[in-house]
Amino acid sequence: MKLRTVASLLFALALTACGGHSSSLSSEVITSSSSESSFSFTTSDSASETSLPSSTSSSATSSILPEVKPYEGYYNSLTTWTNGEDLKQKLYDISHSTYHPLNYTNPNYQTNINADHSYNDFEFLDVIYSEDDVFKTETNKGWQREHAFCASLMCGSLTADAVKRVGRATDFHNLLAASASANSSRGNKNYGNADETNSYYQNRTTDNGRDGYSFDPVNFEPGDRDKGRVARAIFYMAMMYKNDEVDEVNGITMKGLRVVEDPVTYVQGENGAFAIGNLSTLLEWNKKYPVDYLEMQHNISVYKDINAIDGYAQGNRNPFVDYPSLVDYVYGEHKDTAGSLSSCTATESIINCEISNTEFSHYALKEAKRAYAPGEQISNNDYKIVKILNNYTYSEISEGYTNSLANHTFSTNDGESIVANISVGTQNIPYRITLNPLASCSTGEVTLSTTGISSSKPSVDQNVTFDGIDFIFNFNTTYVRNISTGGITFGSGNNSLTKLTIKTKNSYKIDAAYIKAFVGNVNSSYRLTIKVGDETILNTTTVDNKDVAKVYGASRNVTLEGQLTYIFEGSSSLKINSVAFNIINA
């Protein structure tokens, strides 16, 4: 089970001057680039740091604490407010003053890869609704971007149309890396406590022990570690987009967003409700489940990380991540109460929530080679180890660590994957490696695309060339699309594929052949046969529950001669990334 170190003690502490609700996080963060670890905090028991008195008196505390500018002074303009609506407007003004909306489809997944990478590996994502980390390139079927405030309810149109316009549907404080299968189960349900007595209730945590969610027809309930995060994302959206907007792209007037008590249903073809439930549950989740390291990482990254395509960061913060106690002042029991941000930060009577900018946090793996062919060895130049500080900055280290697979020669006996353990200090970092026999073949890994393939010719042989190798494709679907990470999708739920054949035009002498593929529908299956001439070298039925690409094939001790043929049968949708085979020239 992965770590999700939660700063649980912070926000359970009462603040007298803030009406007795949970405390918040006051931090001076510099840049985003990290992962998960416990924060370093100063308590009143620490003799070596500035101590906080036990008194809850604002004046007593203020005379001892130095003046600080939390979050680099981002909230300097926020001093006092008269009630929740006044506070919401002031947060709105601050949030919009530096806001630059980002695109959704281009550069697509880059922002979440930066914002949601896992504790000790920059290239794996700590996705919500699952205990499994997912590699960054396993998009769509491994992980997707989840709209916490779902697109249909906040925009009046489904995601594909909503994201054509930058703004509320492309706000990355609301877009979280999520388990693809869980995202499908969530759909456009409200967040709430799922009803166990409902006949349609499902608990995926008990189903397989890895996912973290349950649902009924109306409510979707994340696991405990994700509840606070989605609640604060939704409260942010209802503040950030509280005003009506005109979506000229889709011809819709989008009303200001609201968080309401009763569940909201989206009816396709009608404008959205521009609201989501359930308010009391989300308020409870905000109080009960405090901000953790990864939620703050996401907040900082969206605020600061420049997007390579757009050329800028989104540029604003989620104030409810920075100050969870403000949720109650805007939406909860204190919404009719005046307040002061300075008193909320200066009267934390038990713990100083200022993040240390210089203290060590942890180590992480970065820019690692992930696939090795049989016969290769790991080199120290194949990966980087970085030292991360509590302010999310990091620097590369060149010594002081060991690799459990140093000098190991990979072979087919290692199976499909293997884990090297990097030991640095008291920390162990798993270095997850895929064995890639395609790379050891003489053809190399030949990535497929739709170039030269016509979707209007089902069940007709089509000649196409990839990397200098002539192939013949035959498939019985008109749904043919490129995969963004390389490869081709054949078939869909409405335009199914039942058989696909990929054959080399020429005959070869071959002793190994492989293909990287996965099904397009969750829990679907297919039969894969690989033949050289009339000789079958692989015949297997595959049920692909993970919905990510896997390598299938075999190496033979004898040389076979003939046309190489890959035959898929059974799945209504299939994705082929690449093929490879080893040609014997003798």
Which string of DSSP letters, residue by residue, matches 79-134?
Answer: -EESSHHHHHHHHHHHHHHT--PPPSSSSTTHHHHHHSB-SSBTTEE--BTBSS-E
Q: Are residues 134 and 254 in the same domain?
A: yes
Give the model's pLDDT for residue 286: 94
Q: How confident is the model at residue 547 (pLDDT cuts 50, 70, 90)?
A: low
State the amino acid at position 569 in one-letter form.
E
* Lookup: tokens for 533: 């001439």
In this structure, the strands spanning 371-372 and 427-435 are parallel
Residue located via tokens 């922002």: 111
Q: Are residues 458 and 506 in the same domain?
A: yes
| Cβ 23 vs Cβ 13: under 8 Å | yes
The overall average pLDDT reported for the chain is: 82
Q: Are residues 202 and 320 in the same domain?
A: yes
* pLDDT above 70 (res 353): no
Identify the domain boundary among 323, 352, 381.
352
* Lookup: tokens for 39: 């924060």
| Cβ 547 vs Cβ 142: under 8 Å | yes
* pLDDT above 50 (res 4): no
Look at residue 7 and tell me if it is in a domain.
Answer: no
| pLDDT tens digits, 390-400 | 888 899 999 99
Q: Are residues 464 and 484 in the same domain?
A: yes
Helix (H, G, I), strand (E, B) or coil at 508: strand
Sequence-separated contacts (24+) of 464-468 with Cβ below 8 Å: 467/443
Look at residue 361 and tell me if it is in a domain.
Answer: no
* pLDDT above 80 (res 449): yes
* pLDDT above 90 (res 347): no
Helix (H, G, I), strand (E, B) or coil at 211: strand
Look at residue 26 and tell me if it is in a domain.
Answer: yes
Q: Are residues 514 and 386 in the same domain?
A: no
Q: Where are the beta strands (DSSP E) in 367-495?
A: 371-372, 384-389, 394-397, 401-403, 417-424, 427-435, 446-447, 462-466, 469-475, 480-482, 488-490
| Cβ 401 vs Cβ 384: under 8 Å | no
Q: Are residues 188 and 55 in the same domain?
A: yes
Q: CA 570 → CA 54, 317, 488, 543, 565, distances in Å?
A: 69, 48, 17, 11, 17
| pLDDT tens digits, 383-431 | 999 999 888 889 999 999 999 999 999 987 887 789 999 999 999 999 9
Q: Are residues 425 and 493 in the same domain?
A: no
Q: Are residues 162 and 264 in the same domain?
A: yes
Report which of residues 55 and 283 the model is more confident about: 283
Q: Are residues 44 and 75 in the same domain?
A: yes
Q: Where are the beta strands (DSSP E) in 468-571?
A: 469-475, 480-482, 488-490, 499-504, 508-519, 525-532, 535-543, 550-562, 564-569
Look at residue 9 and tell me if it is in a domain.
Answer: no
Look at residue 145 and tell me if it is in a domain.
Answer: yes
Determine the average pLDDT of the residues in 328-349: 75
Look at residue 360 and tell me if it is in a domain.
Answer: no
Give the model's pLDDT for residue 392: 87
Give the model's pLDDT for residue 30: 30
Q: H or E element: which one contains 467?
A: none
| pLDDT tens digits, 231-271 | 999 999 999 999 999 988 888 899 999 999 999 988 776 67
| Cβ 519 vs Cβ 526: under 8 Å | yes
Determine what percent of the chain falls in helix, strand and coil, rounding each to the nearest 5: 20, 30, 50
C-alpha to C-alpha distance for 413 and 450, rounded to whole angstroms: 35
Give the model's pLDDT for residue 359: 81
What are the phi and psi torsion angles at 448 (to 5°)? Answer: -90, 155
Question: 498 lies in which domain range?
Answer: 443-583
* pLDDT above 60 (res 65): no
Identify the domain boundary among 330, 352, 374.
352
Q: Are residues 393 and 459 in the same domain?
A: no
Q: Are residues 199 and 91 in the same domain?
A: yes
Q: Which of 169, 140, 137, 167 is nearest to 152 (CA)?
A: 169
* pLDDT above 90 (res 146): yes
Look at residue 11 and tell me if it is in a domain.
Answer: no
| pLDDT tens digits, 155-171 | 988 898 999 999 999 99
* Lookup: tokens for 306: 């420049």
C-alpha to C-alpha distance for 474 and 90, rounded to whole angstroms: 61
Q: How many domains does the chain have?
A: 3
Identify the domain boundary among 321, 352, 383.
352
- For residue 543, give the CATH number of its domain: 2.60.120.260
Look at residue 216 and tell me if it is in a domain.
Answer: yes
Q: Which of 449, 486, 479 is nearest to 466 (CA)?
A: 449
| Cβ 127 vs Cβ 134: under 8 Å | yes
Give the model's pLDDT for residue 273: 87
C-alpha to C-alpha distance for 440 and 373, rounded to whole angstroms: 5
Kindly give, in sequence order, each residue whose CB lies less than 8 Å from that of residue 357, ignoring residues fewer than 6 positions away.
Answer: 28, 29, 30, 389, 390, 391
| Cβ 229 vs Cβ 152: under 8 Å | no
Helix (H, G, I), strand (E, B) or coil at 364: strand
| Cβ 234 vs Cβ 189: under 8 Å | no
* Lookup: tokens for 297: 């990482």
State the amino acid at position 121 in one-letter form.
D
Question: ∠445-446-447 over CA atoms, to 5°?
Answer: 110
Q: Are residues 416 and 536 in the same domain?
A: no
